Structure 1
Amino acid sequence: MSASVSANSVRSVQEDILNAAAQCFMDRGYAATSIDDVARSLGATKGRIYHHYRSKADLFFDVYRHGMQMNFDVLSPIAAQSLPTPEKLQRMTKAHCLAMINTLPFQRCVWEGVELLKRGATTPEQRDVLLELQAMRDNYSEIFREVLEQAKAEGVAHFESSSIALQLMFMSLNSPLFWFQRREGQNDTTIDQIASQCAIFALRGLGLKEDLITDV
Structure 2
Amino acid sequence: MHPAARRATAEGIGTATLVAAVVGSGIMATRLTADVGLQLLINAVATVGALAVLIWSLGPISGAHFNPAVTLVATARAEMRRSEAGLYIAAQILGALLGAVVAHVMFELPAVTLATKQRTGLGQWLGEIVATAGLLALIGALTRTGLGRLGPALVPAWIGAAYFFTSSTSFANPAVTIGRAITDSFSGIAPGDVPGFIVAQLLGAALGAALTEVFYPRAGTPEPLDLPAPVHDHQP
Q: Whose radius of gyration is greater, 1 or 2?
A: 2
Same fold (TM over 0.5): no
Q: TM-score range by the shorter chain?
A: 0.3 to 0.5
TM-score under structure 1 length normalisation: 0.42
